[in-house]
Amino acid sequence: MSDTAQEFANLKAMHAGAVLLKEGGQPVALLPGFGFTAGGQTLRMDLLLVPFAHSGYITRLFFERQIAGRGSNWNEHRVLERNWWAPSWNHVPATMRWTQMLTAHLRAVE
């Protein structure tokens, strides 16, 4: 099993609805209806994990929408023919397991 396949399998074990897609020939993970906590509030929205360098960041986690009062310097991006939002949150290494990468990115909105 390739590293990408294993990383995606681990992510799918965490979120059964995960879908492996490609952006610019690179693997990305769509997490539809992902549940997480931000500012003590439980949220559910689509997330897109980009486990490679994108838009000046080492890795990225894109959110379906901005989260008011959480994260900083939100910017809109067009990825996979869809508009996504991402806060300024860098230095989450591409060497991490995808499940760890997801958790590290979610710290931006805790």
- What pLDDT does 104 receive? 98
Domain housing 48: 3-109
Asked whether 104 and 87 are in contact (CB, 8 A), the reply is no
- What pLDDT does 2 receive? 72
- What pLDDT does 10 receive? 97
- DSSP-assigned letter for residue 108: G
- What gap in Å lies between CA 16 and CA 34, rounded to an integer? 10
pLDDT confidence of 1, banded at 50, 70, 90? low
- State pLDDT tens for residues 22-63: 999 999 999 999 999 999 999 999 999 999 999 999 999 999
- State pLDDT tens for residues 74-94: 999 999 999 999 999 999 999
Domains in the chain: how many in total? 1
Cβ count near 69 (within 10 Å): 9
The amino acid present at 33, given as its one-letter code, is G
